[in-house]
Amino acid sequence: MLFINFAKLRKYYMSFSQKNTPLLTQLSKLAFKQEAPFYAPGHKKGRGINSHFKALLGENVFKADLPELPELDNLFNPEGVIKEAQDLASHAFGAEYTWFLANGSTSGIIASILATCSEGDKIILPRNVHQSAIFGLILSGAEPIFINPEYDRDFDLFYNLSTTQIIKALDNNSRVKAVLLVSPTYHGICANVREIAYCLHNYNIPLIVDEAHGGHFHFHSDLPMSALEAEADVVIQSTHKVLGAMTQASMLHLQGSLVSSEKISRALQMVQSSSPNYLLLASLDSARQQMATEGESLLRNTLDLALIAREKLSKLDYLSVLNFEQKKDSFNNLDLTRLTINVSKLGLTGYEADEILNTQLNVTCELPSLKTLTFIISIGNNLDDINKLIEGLTKLEKYRKKVNQNDIFITNFPTPKLKITPRQAFYAETITLGQSQAINHISGETICPYPPGIPVIMAGELITQDAIASLQNIINHGGTITGASDSSLQTLKVVNS
């Protein structure tokens, strides 16, 4: 009798099929179908689009801006081309299940919390988590157990959570239903995800990893290990941040049996539009195909470019480059394509340096902060970009300022003092107080510099003088604050207790 190994056959088929783009291909066919469209959107394949907008983007993008036509499948009950595309993505990225996200990684992070935590359950997460996780806490009613990662005063940034910190939090808390990790951080700093996952699985607790900035890891061995390879249970990736998808297009991956795929699907229906943008979904199909078939060579070139920049910039004594020197519990690896430069020796803030680079030297960074500039080097960059980056940072020296750096670089990240849950604070009655009066009151709003969208004051926490000083310092030196009802911070909303 002939024995057929269906698992191997499927693996071979999926590997061969990575060249295919089922969703993109179907969208292309329908975009150029000659028909009388009596369905949404109202512009009818671009015929009703403002001429100025059409001149900017061209006609084809509007022809492909289509709704949930039968041939295009349904994102929330996929049986056709979306299912095929998601299956191909799960194979390419090393997951058991993959969901396409048209509302960004924010929707994936919220859905992951909703799928693992109910009201009264606890979840362990770093205090420097993205604000989307706070939204997940508000919607789920879960109680956060915040841990402060190790802080690097020289670069004014945080490392990651360590296994020791997480075990201590587990030993001190009951009803912990999940742990959420941010790895890599915005600056490319990675936790020891494999060790943390192994530890949590001994407790039968799932690990959720916000890997928004690490969607490329799986496709080159010189990059840090991906969270899926490290056996995390739920992984959310912003495919648009470092790969070839359109802005707002992300993926959620699942493996193992600790988190229900059905609960993930139900939660995603709550936080995604019922009319998802097929341009975004098709871009995910396209980005997957590109990485599955060309990823290694594309990333080899990207790494080569990053190393050129690192080598040249490391020779400039007035700049400091964040490097990975030795493994630590809280700094297990570094994504070398994420370049963080400390400009404080020039007497400039990162905001000032960013303004100079952007307006005068035609170099635009991803993330300015008080001391640093962070640049994303990706598959879309070329050697000309790198040369402009090196030239721009070299020219920064002539903008050197003679100032007392201690007057500029004041960083006082608050120690968490959560008094009520973010959900309780969200629904609580609030009043407005002056800045000085608000200190030691419970915040009724979540306030953070953006980017990166990490709260300095969180709804439910006590407002401290350090937190106010940190935010005011960011505002004074050109940073942007979001979430505050009064952007000047002269008044704040507090819980009326």
For residue range 373-432, what is the model confidence (pLDDT) as tens digits?
999 999 999 999 999 999 999 999 999 987 555 555 445 455 657 899 999 999 999 999
The CATH T-level fold of domain 422-495 is: Ornithine Decarboxylase; Chain A, domain 4 (3.90.100)
Q: What pLDDT does residue 1 have?
A: 45
Q: What pLDDT does residue 405 have?
A: 52
What tens digit of pLDDT does each residue of 99-141 get? 999 999 999 999 999 999 999 999 999 998 999 999 999 999 9
Percentage of the residues of the chain whose pLDDT score is greater than 90? 84
Rounded mean pLDDT of 160-165? 97
Question: Which residues of the chain are in CATH 3.90.100.10 domains?
Answer: 422-495
Residues in the chain: 497
340 beta partners: 374
Rounded mean pLDDT of 356-361? 97
pLDDT band at 7 (very low <50, low <70, confident <90, very high): low
Half-sphere exposure of 232 (CA within 13 A, CB side): 28
Q: What pLDDT does residue 476 have?
A: 85
Averaged pLDDT of the chain: 93
| Distance of alpha carbon 233 from alpha carbon 261, whole angstroms | 11
pLDDT band at 473 (very low <50, low <70, confident <90, very high): confident
Question: Which residues of the chain are in CATH 3.90.1150.10 domains?
Answer: 295-404
pLDDT band at 14 (very low <50, low <70, confident <90, very high): low
Measured CA distances, 360 to 375, 387, 393, 395, 461 (Å): 17, 16, 12, 10, 41
- Residues 386 and 429 sit within 8 Å (Cβ to Cβ): no
Comparing 165 with 404, which gets the higher pLDDT? 165
What tens digit of pLDDT does each residue of 65-110 get? 999 999 999 999 999 999 999 999 999 999 999 999 999 999 999 9
| Distance of alpha carbon 437 from alpha carbon 463, whole angstroms | 10
pLDDT band at 475 (very low <50, low <70, confident <90, very high): confident
6-21+73-292 maps to which CATH number?
Answer: 3.40.640.10
Q: Residue 6's CB: how many other CB atoms inside 10 A?
A: 8
Q: What pLDDT does residue 27 have?
A: 98
Q: What pLDDT does residue 70 have?
A: 96
Residue type, 77: N
295-404 maps to which CATH number?
Answer: 3.90.1150.10
Rounded mean pLDDT of 325-339? 94
| Distance of alpha carbon 101 from alpha carbon 111, whole angstroms | 11
> 334-363 burial by CB neighbour count: b if 16+ within 10 A, else e?
bbbbbbbbbbbebbbbbbbbbebbeeebeb
